[in-house]
Amino acid sequence: MSVYTPAEVVEETGFSIDTLRYYEKIGLLAPVDRNSAGQRRFSEDDLGWLGTIRCLRDTGMPIAEMLRFAELVRAGDHTIADRIALLEEHDRRVRDQIDNLAERQRYIHNKISYYRSVL
């Protein structure tokens, strides 16, 4: 099994060291294994989980909901229905944001067309 240093995880995920520490401190990231010198060593599973967190964060999920999702995942398979519900609600919010942006983009395109027509 591969292990990764914090610097490698920063490079791989784009999260800062401070963010990784914060996520571990608040329980969004499970406690990371350490080597005999006390240095953090991240696993493939940690990287996979951080990829999930990156997706949720980048799509605007609040930390409180990410924490709830993490709790559900750690609680086991009997929480799958609750996870689906949480992700479906988040997906609705993402869809609303996309629709809103598309509407704003249409407005911008109309302005561009107008300004081109008066040249």
The structural domain count of the chain equals 1
Could you list the residue range(s) of the whole structural domain that residue 110 is in?
3-117
- Digit-coded pLDDT (tens) for 10-27: 999 999 999 999 999 999
Q: How many CA atoms lie within 13 A of 25 on its CB side?
A: 6
Q: Give mean pLDDT, residues 57-61.
A: 97
Is pLDDT at 39 greater than 90 in this prediction? yes
Q: What is the CATH number of the domain that holds 51?
A: 1.10.1660.10
pLDDT in tens, 69-113: 999 999 999 999 999 999 999 999 999 999 999 999 999 999 999
* DSSP state for residue 3 in the 8-state scheme: E
Dihedral pair phi/psi, residue 118, rounded to 5°: -95, 5
For residue 87, give the amino acid letter: L
**Alpha carbon 60 to chain centroid distance?**
8
Kind and range of the H or E run holding 119: none
Interatomic CA distance for residues 71 and 24, integer angstroms: 13
The candidate with the shortest Cα–Cα distance to 40, out of 21, 59, 55, 13, is: 21
The pLDDT confidence band at residue 62, using thresholds 50, 70 and 90, is very high
Rg (CA), the chain: 20
pLDDT grade, residue 1 (50/70/90)?
confident
Per-residue confidence (pLDDT) for residue 18, from 0 to 100:
97
What pTM value is reported for the model? Answer: 0.87
